[in-house]
Amino acid sequence: MTKKNEIKDKSFNPQAFEPKWQAKWEADKLYRAVIDESRPKHYALTMLPYPSGDLHIGHWYAMTPPDARARFKRMQGYNVMFPMGFDAFGLPAEGAAIKHNIHPKIWTYQNIERMEKQMRTMGAMFDWEREAISSDPEYYKWTQWFFIQLYKKGLAYRKKASVDWCPKDNTTLAREQVKGEDRVCDRCGTPVIKKELEQWFFKATKYADELLHFDGIDWPEFIKVSQTNWIGRSEGASVIFKTEAGDSIEIFTTRPDTLWGATFMVMSPEHPLVDKITTPENAQTVSEYKDQAAKQTDIQREAKDKEKTGVFTGGYAINPVNDERIPIWVADYVLMSYGTGAIMAVPAHDERDFEFARKFGLKIVPVIQPDGVELNGDTMEHAHEHEGVMINSGQFNGTPATNDKGLKNPAIKTVIEYLEEKGIGKRDVNYRYRDWLISRQRFWGAPIPMVHCEKHGWNPLPDEQLPVLLPDDITEWKPTGESPLKFHPTWKDSTCPICGEYAMRETDTMDTFMCSSWYHLRYLSPHNDKAPFDEAEYNYWMPVDTYTGGSEHANMHLLYFRFFHKALRDMGITEGGEPTMQLRNQGMVLAEDNSKMSKSKGNVVAPDVLVQKYGADTVRAYIMFFARWQQGAPWDSHGIEGTARWIRRVWTLFTDDASNSGTPASDEVKKNLRRRVHQTLKRVTYDFEHFEFNTIISSLMELLNDMYKAREAGAVGTPEWNEATEIYIKMLAPVAPHIAEELWTNHLEKPYSIHQQKWATVDESAAKDDTIEIPVQVNGKVRDKVIVSADASEEEIRNAALTSETIQKYLEGKEPKKVIVAKGRLVSIVI
C-alpha cells in the first residue's frame, strides 16, 4: 500500500489496483457475513449459475447490479449476506462426458474453478465462505434428505402416468419444462412425446390454491400473472350423470347454469369407463377410435384448427336436472388430464361442443337467451357463450346469467345451491396445474434415495446411509432412455431397510430444480453435516429480502421454490409462507443485432476482454448504465467508451488537484455545489432502492460535470468541496468498488475501507433550490420563463408571470380569462 510520503501513482491503472484490492478485501474477510443481532440483516440473493464453462456478459448483468445494491444496503447499515454458488448438476456435463469421455464431475468442477476465478474479477461482495455447490455430496445429501421428508409426509409419491418425454435428452420432464404450442423441451427445443411410465412426483397441486396468493410479497406483476395462468384455477361444479349401463360419470363444468342445455356427453378416449359404457354393436368403432387417438401426439390431437372427431358409444346417460336421455360419445377433444376426463356437452353455449354437435347432427338446445335475439338451436351459427337470461331451465327460467365467472355469477350460484340441495352435484374447483414430475433418467443428478424390495416395495433409505453417492467408475454415458446408473455392475445393489434382504436402488436421479429449490437455505450453513441448515442462521437471515434473477424461471424455479418452502413449512422445517419478500427480474442482454446470444452463434460478449481493457469498475458501471436493468437491451460495444471516459474523468478530478484556478470560489459557487451534491445523493439513494441503476450512473455523470465546473470556479479546498468529494466517492463505491477504494484510501487518505463507511445523509435544506425557473404558458404553449424564489407564494408567481414583458405582448392588453398557478411548477394563462 502506498505510504504517505511515497509519490502517489496518478496514472489510472485499474489492472493494477483492482486485483490488489480484491486480494486485500478477501484477506480481511471484508464481506464475510456473520450473525450480528445488533444490526438489521439483509439477505440479498441472486440466482445461482450453472457452471457452463465461462462467465459471459449475461452473468455480469445478473450479478453486478444486485451486488451494487447489496453494497448500498450495507453502507446503509444493514448486515448484508450476498452468497454465491453453483447449480452444478445437469445435462451439459453429461453432454461433455459423452463427447470427450470425461466424467461429468471433472468437467463440472473444472468449470466451477474457472468461473469462480472469473467471478472474483467482478469485485463483488460475495461471501465465498458460504458457497454452496449442489453436486457436492455434502449438499446433495440434504437434497436426498428433503426427498425423504417429502416422501414421509406423503408429498412425494410414485405413479404410472402418461408423461412428457424428451427424445433428444432421453428423459422425462416436468410439465413446466415443456414449452409453448409446439410442446418443446425447455432445454433443447425438441418436441416432446408422451410415454406411459412409472415416475416419482411431488404433490405440488396440494398447494395450488395457496400458490395463487401473493399477499405481502413484492413481486413483479407479470410473474404473478404468469404463475396464476400456469396454475389455471377454474371455479365451477362437479355433477354426477347416471348412465343406463349402471355406472355414473362425474363431470366438471364452469357453467352449471347451462346444465339444462346438456344434450350429450363426451368422454376422453382414455376414460376408464369407456369400454363399460360402449354397447356391443359400437365396440368395434370405439376401439378403433381409441387406437387411433393413442397413436397421435398431443400436438396433433390438440391442434386448435383440427376438425372435431369422435364416435358414439351406443350408451346413454340421464341429464340429472331434466331427466332427458342423452347420448354418450367418445372424442379426443376431451382430455383425460383435465377435470374428470368427461364432460357434459352444451352445444348452444360452448363453441367446441357446438362444432361437434353440428358435425354429428346432435341436438342443440339454447338455455341462455341473450338480450334482443332469439336463439334457435336449428339455425344458430355459433354458440352463445355470454350473458343472458336462463330459459328452458324449469324453475330457473328468468334468472340472469352474467359474464362473471364462478359464484359471482347469480345463475351459477343459484344452480350450484340447487345441485347441492338435490345431492346431484357440488361446488368444485379445478386447476390445470399438475404435480411435479421429478424423476430423470440421467446420471448427473442427485440419486433418488429410495430402494425397492420384492417384499416391502419402495422404501426410503435410513438417514445414516445418506448421501447415496454417485459412482466415479462409470464409463458408458450414452443416454439409452434409462439412467446410466442402471448399467453399473454393483451400484444398484442395496438392502431393504425393513427386512434387510436385497433391494434395488432407484436408478433415476432428481430434476435439478429440486436442488435449486432450497439452495438459499444451504447458504445459511453450507458445511453443516448435522442438518440442511443451522437454525440460528435461519432465524437470523431468513426470509430472503431481495431475490434477483431471470424471468424465464417464472413458471419453473420460481414456482418450485415457493412450493418447496410451503411444503417445508408444513413439515415444521421452515417458517412463513414465502421464501422471499421481494423479487426483481433483470432483462436479457441481446447481441448487437438484437438476436439472442449463444455459444453456437458465436456472438457472446466476453467480459474478460472488457475487464482487461477497461477494468472491472467500468464494465460494472456500463452494465448498469446501458439499459434499464429490468428490461435489458442489445449490447452496444461502442457505448462502453462513454462510461470508461466518465470513470477516467472521476480519476482525473480526484487525483489531479493541481489544476484549481487562482480565484477563490464565491459563496454562490459553494452553495450551488452543495445543493447539487445533496440533490444527487437523494436521487441516487432513491434509485438504488428501486433498482434504477441506469439513472444512478447518469446522475453521477452529471454531478461530475458540475464538480469540474466548480473546480474551474475555484471550489477546491473549500469545506463544500471536501464534502462533495467524500459523498461522491461514497456514491461511487457500490458501483465501482475498486476505484472508490483506491481514491478513498490512497488519494484522500481516509480510513480503510470505503466499503465500511456509512452512506451519507441527505441535507434536505441544502438540496432545496433558492430560485426556480417557472415556465409560463399562454393557451397551452410555453411563451416565457420567469425566475422566482423557491418559496414564492402563488400570488407572487402570478404577478411575475403577468408582468413579464413577453407575456404582456401575448395578452395584448386584454384581461386573461383564467390564470392557473401550479405552485413551484408552472403558470398557465388562458386568453
Partner RNA sequence: GCCGAAGUGGCGGAACAGGCAGACGCGCACGACUCAAAAUCGUGUUCCCUCCGGGAAUGAGGGUUCGAUUCCCUCCUUCGGCACCA
Binding to RNA, residues 57-116 (CB under 7 A): none
For residues 439 and 451, what is the distance between their CA atoms, to the nearest angstrom?
14
Judged by CB under 7 A, the stretch of 9-17, 166-174, 632-640, 756-764 that binds RNA is: 632-640
Residues 88 and 80 sit within 8 Å (Cβ to Cβ):
no
For residues 93 and 112, what is the distance between their CA atoms, to the nearest angstrom?
12
User: Does the protein bind RNA through residue 319 (CB under 7 A)?
Assistant: no
Tell me the closest approach of the beta carbon of residue 550 to RNA, in angstroms.
11
Tell me the closest approach of the beta carbon of residue 692 to RNA, in angstroms.
6
Cell 358414439, located at residue: 312
Question: Which listed residue (143, 170, 171, 253) binds RNA by CB under 7 A?
Answer: 253
Question: Which listed residue (627, 677, 684, 735) binds RNA by CB under 7 A?
Answer: 627
Question: Which listed residue (645, 663, 666, 761) binds RNA by CB under 7 A?
Answer: 645
With residues binned 3-state (H G I as helix, E B as strand, rest as coil), the percentages for the chain, rounded to 5, are 40, 20, 40
User: Does the protein bind RNA through residue 694 (CB under 7 A)?
Assistant: yes
Residues in region 702-741 near RNA by CB under 7 A: 702, 705, 708
Tell me the closest approach of the beta carbon of residue 352 to RNA, in angstroms.
4
> 194: closest CA among 217, 215, 216, 175?
175
User: Does the protein bind RNA through residue 295 (CB under 7 A)?
Assistant: no
User: Does the protein bind RNA through residue 386 (CB under 7 A)?
Assistant: no
Tell me the closest approach of the beta carbon of residue 756 to RNA, in angstroms.
29
Residues in region 505-544 near RNA by CB under 7 A: none
User: Does the protein bind RNA through residue 625 (CB under 7 A)?
Assistant: yes
Choose between 540 and 646: whose C-beta lies nearer to RNA.
646
Judged by CB under 7 A, the stretch of 30-38, 74-82, 220-228, 272-280 that binds RNA is: 220-228
Choose between 128 and 431: whose C-beta lies nearer to RNA.
431
Choose between 78 and 708: whose C-beta lies nearer to RNA.
708
Question: Which listed residue (171, 441, 551, 585) binds RNA by CB under 7 A?
Answer: 551
User: Does the protein bind RNA through residue 292 (CB under 7 A)?
Assistant: no
**Chain length of the chain:** 831
Residues 735 and 629 sit within 8 Å (Cβ to Cβ):
no
Question: Quick one: how far is CA 93 from the chain centroid?
Answer: 25
> 172: closest CA among 548, 448, 489?
448
User: Does the protein bind RNA through residue 480 (CB under 7 A)?
Assistant: no
Question: Which listed residue (192, 334, 448, 461) binds RNA by CB under 7 A?
Answer: 334
User: Does the protein bind RNA through residue 672 (CB under 7 A)?
Assistant: no
Judged by CB under 7 A, the stretch of 21-29, 92-100, 516-524, 629-637 that binds RNA is: 629-637
Tell me the closest approach of the beta carbon of residue 301 to RNA, in angstroms.
6
Judged by CB under 7 A, the stretch of 161-169, 462-470, 636-644, 734-742 that binds RNA is: 636-644
User: Does the protein bind RNA through residue 830 (CB under 7 A)?
Assistant: yes
CA distances to 286, 362, 776 from 309, rounded to whole Å, are 12, 14, 71
Tell me the closest approach of the beta carbon of residue 312 to RNA, in angstroms.
17
Residues in region 266-285 near RNA by CB under 7 A: 268
Measure the CA dihedral 408/411/417/418, to 10°.
-170
User: Does the protein bind RNA through residue 229 (CB under 7 A)?
Assistant: yes
User: Read out DSSP for 756-773?
Assistant: GSPPPPP-HHHHS-SEEE
Residues in region 340-359 near RNA by CB under 7 A: 341, 343, 350, 352
Residue 15 grid coordinates = 489492472
DSSP letter at 126 equals -
Choose between 252 and 519: whose C-beta lies nearer to RNA.
252
Q: Is residue 256 within a helix (H) or strand (E), and if so which, with residue range?
A: none
Q: 432: exposed, middle or buried (C-beta count within 10 Å: 0-12, 13-18, 19+)?
A: middle
Choose between 143 and 828: whose C-beta lies nearer to RNA.
828
Question: Which listed residue (250, 270, 302, 794) binds RNA by CB under 7 A?
Answer: 302
Residues 611 and 738 sit within 8 Å (Cβ to Cβ):
no
User: Does the protein bind RNA through residue 332 (CB under 7 A)?
Assistant: yes
Choose between 92 and 634: whose C-beta lies nearer to RNA.
634
Phi, psi torsion values for 693, nearest 5 degrees: -70, -35
Phi, psi torsion values for 428, nearest 5 degrees: -150, 160
Tell me the closest approach of the beta carbon of residue 671 to RNA, in angstroms.
19
Measure the CA dihedral 117/119/122/124, to 10°.
-120
**DSSP tally for the chain: helices H, then strands E:** 26, 34
> 549: closest CA among 526, 582, 507, 579?
582
User: Read out DSSP for 173-221?
Assistant: E-GGGEETTTTEETTT-PBPEEEEEEEEEE-GGGGHHHHT--TT-B--H
Tell me the closest approach of the beta carbon of residue 787 to RNA, in angstroms.
10
Residues in region 161-180 near RNA by CB under 7 A: 179-180
User: Does the protein bind RNA through residue 814 (CB under 7 A)?
Assistant: no
User: Does the protein bind RNA through residue 685 (CB under 7 A)?
Assistant: no
Tell me the closest approach of the beta carbon of residue 222 to RNA, in angstroms.
4
Choose between 708 and 752: whose C-beta lies nearer to RNA.
708
Q: 385: exposed, middle or buried (C-beta count within 10 Å: 0-12, 13-18, 19+)?
A: middle
Choose between 114 and 308: whose C-beta lies nearer to RNA.
308
Cell 468449470, located at residue: 111
Choose between 102 and 336: whose C-beta lies nearer to RNA.
336
Tell me the closest approach of the beta carbon of residue 224 to RNA, in angstroms.
8
For residues 729 and 767, what is the distance between their CA atoms, to the nearest angstrom?
18
Question: Which listed residue (16, 34, 225, 609) binds RNA by CB under 7 A?
Answer: 225
> 25: closest CA among 747, 753, 736?
753
Mask 755-784, x = binds RNA (CB under 7 A)? ------------------x-x-x-xxxxx-
Q: 435: exposed, middle or buried (C-beta count within 10 Å: 0-12, 13-18, 19+)?
A: buried
Choose between 222 and 502: whose C-beta lies nearer to RNA.
222
In the chain, what is the straight-line distance between the N-terminal and C-terminal CA atoms, in Å?
70
Residues in region 231-250 near RNA by CB under 7 A: 232, 234, 236
Cis upstream peptide for 543 (omega within 30°): yes
User: Does the protein bind RNA through residue 226 (CB under 7 A)?
Assistant: yes
Question: Which listed residue (17, 626, 651, 691) binds RNA by CB under 7 A?
Answer: 626
